[in-house]
A and B are shown apart, each in its own frame.
Chain A
């Protein structure tokens, strides 16, 4: 048993201690196993994970690659059913909602997927109205107004008539976010939204998500590798490591040097910043202590 696992054992009491009132997303001992072939051992498992999120709250799911972040996000989105436990949105199990109802309540911004045919940014945002319409319908005035408003909320009105394949990565990310806003969801999920963005665009995106959560009363859950950004903007972080949920809590509660160094296998330093938010400093010149590297090779 390495240091991270021992810390996981102590941390389980943290989420239970949080107040339960106004809980919108309730992940209760949810687990999952990826199975490629029947009767063979699962290739990846996510062990029982619990946390709660209220409206206007921004939650960051952190962890190194293959720690189960995206799996947890898909569990929350309801696109895969949990193996055990429950994932609820306002008391409804997300994986049991009808596809259309789910899309009216949960919007998901995924990692970039290529477009087959050219589409204009405005039309792309309008696609977010799909779950609110019927299969054979023309968008109403209201749909156009909502789409225009969504574009305004991400500051991209000027991109409306541009082609999606001609705009920059940061602009594209804003359009994709606008489409999610046009869905008018309760819960906004984003899978590594800061990927391929420069630092300015990353900060802008997180600040925007913070503001949107506040103004539109969303619950926002993001998967990210950006420890510093999560520390700065998240109300709550969920730390995953090799399919285990190690910690749930405020950034200050979770960001402890030993724990993060163990999980991310990188020499780090944690400072305390304003409002008690931690700051992560990468210690490039310091070697990881030897007991840590031997611990990681055995796993």
Chain B
């Protein structure tokens, strides 16, 4: 039994940040146009020291305008999805919970599409639609997963999976009947895709949203540890169960919405990453929330790099990559649990 101290937490997170940095460098290098590592370092140094004119336009165009924003987006989306997954696992007391498996991502996607169809002109409607879609879906799945007043683990997962399939069908219907313009684009986005270039201001908005929501969840981390033992037990140990559940429910929905509104439904990140982090660093939520955030960033940036390069110059949606790894892992965890 190792005591959890601030020191241990900082060391663990520092180690993961270094790994993330290495992955980012790798992601910057790899692609349809590869750059040698030395060039990369030299050019970044020039940019940082304030000599952008000495950097070739090619480099600036590919690195700074295309690859870097995409990597940053991947970091944010991965962190948001992983923290959301870890939170749903505690909230629903279900180790297999994940925004994608529970249908929350699909609900969020439907919210985005409805917002685009109904009010395309109003600027903040898409994130709002994504948020409302997420909140409504998780509420519905939660209610469907209850049996005789108890949350049944298997029923909950089935409710989530069926909701996801139902919502996807509604999305398909809306897409084919109403929005016929860019089917491949939307289909890509639905699979989970990071290739859309976003304005910098939006990236900042996302970052602030992430910090607020993940921060709110982090403040409840030690309550979540107890909530996993059951709501009554947590209450007897001094946890204000209703407040904590509400905070986590809203924040995790917000994180999912945030990720889905920019990158579609990237699956299994929220399931996979917290599990790996638990294996590596234990299941204390005070450590699990920050490590999941960084781990999620690593996972999504890696997956997206693979998706960009594996069949270059064609690209795969990143969601296809995460699903290829995540779905077998889900089955493995499910079987191990039932054994």
Q: Does B193 contact A (CB under 8 A)?
A: no
A-B contact pairs, 22 of them (CB 8 A): A79-B236, A99-B238, A99-B239, A103-B238, A106-B236, A116-B89, A116-B93, A119-B283, A122-B1, A127-B225, A127-B229, A127-B237, A130-B223, A130-B237, A135-B219, A135-B220, A135-B223, A136-B222, A136-B286, A137-B222, A138-B4, A160-B1
Q: Does B218 contact A (CB under 8 A)?
A: yes
8 closest A-B pairs by CB: A131-B238, A103-B238, A122-B1, A108-B236, A117-B283, A100-B238, A113-B230, A116-B228
Chain A contact-residue range equals 20 to 34
Shortest beta-carbon distance from A145 to chain B in Å: 12
**Interface residue ranges, A against B (CB under 8 Å):** 77, 79, 99-100, 102-104, 106-108, 110, 113, 115-120, 122-123, 127-128, 130-131, 133, 135-139, 144, 160-161, 183
Contact between A117 and B238, CB atoms less than 8 A apart: no
Q: Does B6 contact A (CB under 8 A)?
A: yes
Shortest beta-carbon distance from B151 to chain A in Å: 11
Q: Does B201 contact A (CB under 8 A)?
A: no
Q: Determine the distance from Cα of A117 to Cα of B96 in the docked complex, in whole angstroms.
A: 11
Q: Determine the distance from Cα of A137 to Cα of B228 in the docked complex, in whole angstroms.
A: 18
Shortest beta-carbon distance from B231 to chain A in Å: 10
**Interface residue ranges, B against A (CB under 8 Å):** 1, 3-6, 89, 93-95, 218-223, 225-226, 228-230, 232-233, 235-240, 278, 283-284, 286
Contact between A138 and B240, CB atoms less than 8 A apart: no
Contact between B228 and A123, CB atoms less than 8 A apart: no
Shortest beta-carbon distance from B170 to chain A in Å: 32
- Which single residue of chain A is at the shortest CB-CB distance from B232? A110
Contact between B237 and A123, CB atoms less than 8 A apart: no
Shortest beta-carbon distance from A25 to chain B in Å: 16
**Cβ-defined partner of A117 (8 Å) among B219, B228, B240:** B228
Within 8 Å CB of B94, what residues of A? Answer: 116
Q: Determine the distance from Cα of A144 to Cα of B3 in the docked complex, in whole angstroms.
A: 9
Within 8 Å CB of A128, what residues of B? Answer: 237
Within 8 Å CB of B1, what residues of A? Answer: 120, 122-123, 160-161
- Which single residue of chain A is at the shortest CB-CB distance from B231? A113
Within 8 Å CB of B3, what residues of A? Answer: 138-139, 144
Within 8 Å CB of A118, what residues of B? Answer: 283
Within 8 Å CB of B283, what residues of A? Answer: 117-119
- Which single residue of chain A is at the shortest CB-CB distance from B230? A113
Q: Determine the distance from Cα of A117 to Cα of B240 in the docked complex, in whole angstroms.
A: 21
Contact between A115 and B228, CB atoms less than 8 A apart: yes
Shortest beta-carbon distance from B241 to chain A in Å: 8
Within 8 Å CB of A103, what residues of B? Answer: 235-238
Contact between B221 and A113, CB atoms less than 8 A apart: no
Most buried by A among B1, B5, B220, B228: B1
A-B contacts besides A79-B232, A100-B238, A103-B238, 17 pairs, CB < 8 Å = A99-B239, A103-B236, A110-B230, A113-B233, A116-B94, A118-B283, A120-B1, A123-B284, A130-B223, A130-B238, A135-B222, A136-B219, A136-B221, A136-B286, A138-B3, A138-B4, A138-B6
Contact between B230 and A131, CB atoms less than 8 A apart: no
Most buried by B among A99, A108, A113: A99
Q: Determine the distance from Cα of A104 to Cα of B228 in the docked complex, in whole angstroms.
A: 20
Q: Determine the distance from Cα of A128 to Cα of B238 in the docked complex, in whole angstroms.
A: 9
Within 8 Å CB of B235, what residues of A? Answer: 79, 99, 103
Contact between A117 and B278, CB atoms less than 8 A apart: yes
Within 8 Å CB of A102, what residues of B? Answer: 238
Q: Determine the distance from Cα of A103 to Cα of B233 in the docked complex, in whole angstroms.
A: 10
Q: Determine the distance from Cα of A144 to Cα of B284 in the docked complex, in whole angstroms.
A: 16
**Cβ-defined partner of B237 (8 Å) among A116, A136, A144, A183:** A183
Q: Determine the distance from Cα of A130 to Cα of B225 in the docked complex, in whole angstroms.
A: 10
Q: Determine the distance from Cα of A100 to Cα of B238 in the docked complex, in whole angstroms.
A: 4
Within 8 Å CB of A131, what residues of B? Answer: 237-238
Shortest beta-carbon distance from B195 to chain A in Å: 36
Q: Determine the distance from Cα of A83 to Cα of B229 in the docked complex, in whole angstroms.
A: 29
Shortest beta-carbon distance from B200 to chain A in Å: 32
Within 8 Å CB of A183, what residues of B? Answer: 237
Shortest beta-carbon distance from B270 to chain A in Å: 15
Q: Determine the distance from Cα of A25 to Cα of B93 in the docked complex, in whole angstroms.
A: 34
- Which single residue of chain B is at the shortest CB-CB distance from A119? B283
Contact between B95 and A116, CB atoms less than 8 A apart: yes
Shortest beta-carbon distance from A151 to chain B in Å: 11
Shortest beta-carbon distance from A238 to chain B in Å: 21
Within 8 Å CB of A100, what residues of B? Answer: 238, 240
Most buried by B among A108, A116, A127, A137: A116
- Which single residue of chain A is at the shortest CB-CB distance from B8? A138
Q: Determine the distance from Cα of A139 to Cα of B94 in the docked complex, in whole angstroms.
A: 27
Q: Determine the distance from Cα of A131 to Cα of B223 in the docked complex, in whole angstroms.
A: 10
Q: Determine the distance from Cα of A108 to Cα of B94 in the docked complex, in whole angstroms.
A: 24
- Which single residue of chain B is at the shortest CB-CB distance from A122? B1
Within 8 Å CB of A120, what residues of B? Answer: 1
Q: Determine the distance from Cα of A135 to Cα of B229 in the docked complex, in whole angstroms.
A: 17
Most buried by A among B225, B232, B236: B236
Contact between A107 and B236, CB atoms less than 8 A apart: yes
Q: Say yes or no: A130-B232 contact (C-beta < 8 A), given A117-B283, A135-B220, A139-B3.
A: no
Within 8 Å CB of A139, what residues of B? Answer: 3-4
Q: Determine the distance from Cα of A133 to Cα of B226 in the docked complex, in whole angstroms.
A: 13
**Cβ-defined partner of B238 (8 Å) among A104, A137, A161:** A104
Within 8 Å CB of A161, what residues of B? Answer: 1
Contact between B95 and A117, CB atoms less than 8 A apart: yes
- Which single residue of chain A is at the shortest CB-CB distance from B288? A117
Contact between B222 and A133, CB atoms less than 8 A apart: yes
Q: Determine the distance from Cα of A102 to Cα of B236 in the docked complex, in whole angstroms.
A: 8
Contact between B219 and A127, CB atoms less than 8 A apart: no
Shortest beta-carbon distance from A222 to chain B in Å: 15
